[in-house]
Amino acid sequence: MARHQSGAGDPVRSLRLLWQDPETPVRRARGPRPALRLVEIVETALREADASGIDAVSMRRLADSLGVGAMSLYTYVPGKSELVDLMVDAAHRTLYRESSPRDLPGWRDRLDLVAWENWHLYRRHPWLLDVDVSSRPTLGPGTTAKYDSELAAVDGIGLDDLQMDSVVALVVGHAQTSARAAEARTRTRLASAHDDEEWWRRWEPELRRVLDPTRFPLATRVGQHVGEATATAHDPERSFVFGLNRILDGVAQLIAAGGGDNAGAT
């Protein structure tokens, strides 16, 4: 469950900050021209969130990092809610720089790119998993460009506008859910004195003693094969790839049925 909500601040002030040139110094209501540029503020906040999580980012800590007074920082950015919007939008601007869905000829390759770009986005910036951007998106230039590029992946393939939006949301949501599982696995490893293989070696002898294969035949057989293949109980990236392919198969059925909502129904 996300602990922060994008779009929770003053919408007018957020939008003005989001759409102004980030290289331009932010003008205060009174006093001398400020020395800070908006890009400096946001990039510093991003570094702190990447290192310590979104909860560790505070206006006071950010002000200390920037070498300005805490109250002075509020003349640049109204508060943390607006700052979160700027951070999310800045993170979204990093997508599709090397390759865009528009560069690829087939819709399946385009959606595959969308999925992997979002997977890597959340792996680079895991704090994004703690921000709900779905119900009240930031609507800044980075987020808008991200959405526009992702819609291009399914444009002209036989879906109506609502279906295009739903397919993109499904693919992005799958990447987010999978990245959340991967981040949980990473945090577990960091908090543990043992890696997954060592953990299983410690547990396996006792598990064999207490687990009756005749009582749980499927769990025993499948669990053993999964463990042998992946050396872990759950491989988030493997599940991400498997789920993505099944989603794309479903989109193919939807397209083949002419975009009807009952595609694939029996």
Domain 4-91 CATH assignment equals 1.10.10.60: yes
Q: What is the pTM of this model?
A: 0.83
Q: Which pLDDT score, from 0 to 100, does residue 206 have? A: 75
CA atoms within 13 Å, Cβ hemisphere of 243: 19
Q: Could you report the per-residue pLDDT of 156-203, keeping only the tens digit for each?
A: 999 999 999 999 999 999 999 999 999 988 887 777 776 767 766 776
Structure tokens at 22: 């980030």
Residue 5 parent element (H or E): strand 4-5
- Average pLDDT, integer, range 224-242: 79
pLDDT band at 24; cut points 50, 70, 90: low
The encoded tokens of residue 31 equal 């006093």
49 contact partners, CB below 8 Å, separation of at least 6:
56, 57, 87, 125, 127
Asked if residues 151 and 157 have their Cβ atoms less than 8 Å apart, the reply is no
Tens-place pLDDT, residues 107-149: 999 999 999 999 999 999 999 999 988 777 888 999 999 999 9
Paired tokens of 255? 């397209």
- Residues paired with residue 37 on neighbouring β-strands, in sequence order: 25
| Domain map (residue ranges) of the chain | 4-91, 101-256
Distances from the Cα of 236 to the Cαs of 183, 185, 201, in angstroms? 9, 8, 21
Cα–Cα distance for residue pair 184/233, rounded to 1 Å: 13
Instruction: Tell me the average pLDDT of the chain.
Output: 86
HSE-up of residue 253 (Cα within 13 Å, Cβ side): 12
Which pLDDT value is given to residue 23? 66
Q: What are phi and psi of 45, to 5 degrees?
A: -65, -40
CATH match for 101-256 among 1.10.357.10, 3.40.50.300, 3.40.50.1100, 3.10.20.30: 1.10.357.10
DSSP-assigned letters across all residues of 189-233: HHHSSS-HHHHHHHHHHHHHHH--TTTSHHHHHHHHHHHHHHSSS
Q: Please tell me the predicted confidence (pLDDT) of residue 266.
A: 29
The residue among 123, 52, 49, 59 whose CA lies nearest residue 88 is 49
Confidence of residue 262 (pLDDT cuts 50, 70, 90): very low
